[in-house]
Amino acid sequence: MPDGILRLATWNVNSIRTRLNRVLDWLVRANVDVLAMQETKCSDAQFPTLPLFELGYEVAHVGFNQWNGVAIASRVGIDDVQIGFDGQPTWSNKPEVAATAEARALGATCGGVRVWSLYVPNGRALDDPHYAYKLDWLAALKDTAQGWLRADPGAQIALVGDWNIAPTDEDVWSTEFYTGATHVSEPERKAFNAIVDAQFSDLVRPFTPGPGIYTYWDYTQLRFPKRQGMRIDFILGSPTLAGRVLDAQIVREERKGKAPSDHAPLFVDLRDGLVTQPVETL
């Protein structure tokens, strides 16, 4: 990769301890500068910081147990680490347990870019309390992110990760299969588009257009070889960041092989420095 290019990637690794060797190998082969990870599925004490450090990456992670967990690994610096965003909703599925903010959002400044690794709640079912929690979570993220740009219209912000939403019908292999399910409901899509309307554009889609381009394939029913997937992982960028994008890819090949995650990584290449007029993206 030429000098002056920053490669920012995101990957739902579905257990970092299970996929560590795959992650380390891909970081080297893909020459990634910053990697946001989701579903690390471990506590902070269990996170494998040392192997990443040995490759030249600093790490920030938040995880409390075997569920959720988000991380950022950077070889271009990692500053101003923040666990959770302002206004992030809390959750508890047991009346006797106090609601707390889950390990679903982690922010850090890496190479001048404010990166947020996000693992949006799944929603589970349309009549499940987790679905309402998901919508509240997205609304709070939109309000907070909008405030960031209001305070600094030129801020370089990347909202990246597993959004658990397929924003358009093209983003699922079968609309009939997902009828009445989460991830494709109108309220979820509206919540996603509200963030886009708040000036956080999809930086990957212009380089990976068309139906059948997915980031997630369930392990069951041979979904991957049948190309029955969903596009639910995204890199959304502020206007100034969008103006720096040179290329973007969904790395489908990483869904292959031994013990893969059920998600593929995706990345954007950013030119060095700022531009005066943001480039319009879809």
Which residues are designated catalytic? 119, 162, 263
SS (H, E, C) the chain: CCCCEEEEEEEECCCHHHHHHHHHHHHHHHCCCEEEEECCCCCCCCCCHHHHHHCCCEEEEECCCCCCCEEEEECCCCEEEEECCCCCCCECCCCCCCCECCCCEEEEEECCEEEEEEECCCCCCCCCHHHHHHHHHHHHHHHHHHHHHHHCCCCCEEEEEECCCCCCHHHECCCCCCCCCCCCCHHHHHHHHHHHHCCCEECCHHHCCCCCCCCECCCHHHCCCCCCCECCEEEEECHHHHCCEEEEEECHHHHCCCCCCCECCEEEEEECCCCCCCCCCC
Q: Is 164 annotated as a binding residue?
A: yes
Q: Is 39 annotated as a binding residue?
A: yes
Q: Is 263 annotated as a binding residue?
A: yes
Q: Is 280 annotated as a binding residue?
A: no
Q: Is 21 annotated as a binding residue?
A: no
Instruction: Could you list the residues known to form a binding site for Mg(2+), using ranges.
Output: 12, 39, 162, 164, 262-263
Instruction: Could you list the residues known to form a binding site, using ranges.
Output: 12, 39, 162, 164, 262-263
